[in-house]
């Protein structure tokens, strides 16, 4: 069998870096892309590609799998410049997908739980998404564009992904250790998954010949940011009284916040196709704590 190649389009984010490492371990020759010329100039395995201009797309190497990872993930930035964020989150993924598929490869798009409106528990992969944020609509439009292109994409909708050195948790711990108050949100819930769990799903999916269409990955239960902070304080032996429960609905502007009632998703397709079992929310928090101890 010849060498298999994977392109990670948007290889500078923590998810992109972890994915590239795992694909290399799985035996792929991996090309990452970056919009930053200093990164592509310094490393021949990094190809220049800006999702805004699509400069670099024509010369992007063909690949067995192209992972479309880069995104404008900040809700506030999406709203500040809808054209720019629409180009990055919707137009570019579809163009990259079509271009890479026309060279004979498969396409794997990182969508988001934000395609759902969070109004009911465990939405299924087959439910028609009704996003209630601009970011969610852009991701939904990219999904539709890729599906309509007839290129048999894999679309993965992850819930919140917790990574090593997750900056919010690091800030909380720093503040708590210096006896400063921490104000975690009590009304913002997530059903987080650990970075390695997400990466394992990706690697297992592309090893599954029948993998195709929409997949969702979340924990089995949801947890508020306040509850996560309480677990972190307990791990560090800090009195939870230092936590000041705060309502995101009181402090975040309405247009830039997303406060779903429900954060879990049905993961039935991952369960049947790769034997995925939804972890608990605390699994992600505990992995973070173990790796950063
Ligand atoms: N993290 C999560 O909890 C989560 C949950 C669900 C879905 N996802 C999805 O997973 C993917 C990765 O998320 P993430 O949290 O790792 O994202 P992130 O930390 O916000 O990083 C975004 C990446 O996109 C790149 N990017 C932004 N604009 C670009 C442009 N014009 N051209 C090329 N690259 C550009 C950034 O490049 P620079 O490094 O140069 O800034 C950065 O590497 C996204 O598609 C996101 O929607 C993430």
CA distance linking residue 228 with residue 29, whole number of Å: 38
Instruction: For residue 111, count CB atoms less than 10 angstroms from its CB and return exposed for 0-12, middle for 13-18, buried for 19 or more.
Output: buried
Spatial contact of 73 and 16, defined as CB atoms under 8 Å apart: no
The predicted pLDDT at position 1 comes to: 59
Residues comprising the chain, all counted: 293
Q: Is 72 in the pocket of ligand 1 (CB under 6 A)?
A: yes
pTM score, whole prediction: 0.97
CATH code, 4-162+193-219+266-278: 3.40.50.720
User: What percentage of the chain reaches a pLDDT higher than 90?
Assistant: 93
- For helices 167-177 and 281-292, what crossing angle results, to 10°? 60
Which conformational region is residue 10 in: left (phi greater than 0), alpha (psi within -120 to 50 degrees), or beta? Answer: left
CA distance linking residue 200 with residue 22, whole number of Å: 8
Distance 110 CA to ligand 1 centre (A): 9
Q: Which atom of ligand 1 is nearest to the CA of 12?
A: 43
Average pLDDT, the chain: 96
Where does the pLDDT of residue 293 fall: very low under 50, low under 70, confident under 90, or very high at 90 and above?
low
Spatial contact of 225 and 192, defined as CB atoms under 8 Å apart: no
Domain assignments of the chain as residue spans, ordered by start = 4-162+193-219+266-278
The predicted pLDDT at position 263 comes to: 98
List CB contacts of 183: < 8 A, sequence separation 6 or more. Answer: 243, 244, 245, 246
Radius of gyration for the chain, computed over Cα atoms and rounded to the nearest angstrom: 19
List CB contacts of 206: < 8 A, sequence separation 6 or more. Answer: 6, 65, 106, 108, 154
Residue in 7, 10, 47 to alter for ligand 1 test, most ligand atoms within 8 A of Cβ: 10
Q: Which atom of ligand 1 is nearest to the CA of 15?
A: 16
- What is the per-residue pLDDT across 103-142, written as a single tens digit (0 to 9) for each? 999 999 999 999 999 999 999 999 999 999 999 999 999 9
| Residue of 45, 49, 62, 36 whose CA lies nearest to 9 | 49
Spatial contact of 90 and 72, defined as CB atoms under 8 Å apart: no
Distance 99 CA to ligand 1 centre (A): 20
Ligand 1, atom 38, residue with closest C-alpha: 12
Q: Is 229 in the pocket of ligand 1 (CB under 6 A)?
A: no
- What is the per-residue pLDDT across 54-102, written as a single tens digit (0 to 9) for each? 999 999 999 999 999 999 999 999 999 999 999 999 999 999 999 999 9
Q: Is 131 in the pocket of ligand 1 (CB under 6 A)?
A: no
């Amino acid at each position: 069998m010849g060498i298999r190649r994977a392109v990670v389009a948007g290889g500078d984010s923590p998810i992109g870096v972890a994915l590239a490492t795992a694909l290399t371990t799985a035996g792929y020759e991996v090309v990452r892309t970056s919009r930053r010329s200093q990164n592509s100039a310094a490393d021949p395995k990094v190809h220049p590609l800006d999702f805004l201009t699509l400069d670099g797309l024509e010369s992007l190497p063909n690949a067995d799998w192209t992972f479309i990872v880069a995104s404008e993930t900040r809700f506030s930035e999406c709203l500040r410049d809808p054209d720019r964020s629409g180009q990055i989150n919707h137009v570019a993924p579809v163009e990259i997908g079509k271009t890479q598929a026309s060279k004979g490869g498969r396409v794997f798009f990182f969508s988001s739980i934000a395609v759902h409106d969070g109004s009911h528990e465990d939405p299924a992969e087959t439910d028609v998404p009704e996003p209630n944020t601009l970011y969610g609509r852009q991701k939904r439009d990219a999904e539709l564009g890729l599906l309509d292109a007839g290129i048999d994409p894999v679309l993965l909708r992850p819930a919140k992904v917790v990574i090593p050195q997750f900056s919010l948790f690091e800030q909380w711990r720093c503040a708590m250790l210096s006896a400063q108050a921490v104000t975690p949100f009590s009304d913002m819930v997530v059903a987080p998954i650990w970075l390695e769990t997400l990466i394992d799903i990706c690697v297992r999916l592309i090893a599954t010949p029948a993998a195709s269409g929409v997949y969702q990955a979340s924990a089995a239960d949801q947890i508020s940011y306040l509850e996560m902070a309480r677990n972190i304080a307990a791990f560090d032996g800090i009195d939870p009284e230092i936590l000041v429960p705060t309502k995101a609905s009181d402090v975040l502007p309405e247009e830039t916040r997303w406060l779903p009632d429900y954060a879990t998703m049905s993961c039935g397709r991952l369960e049947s196709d790769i034997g995925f079992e939804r972890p608990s929310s605390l699994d992600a928090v505990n992995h973070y704590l173990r790796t950063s101890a």
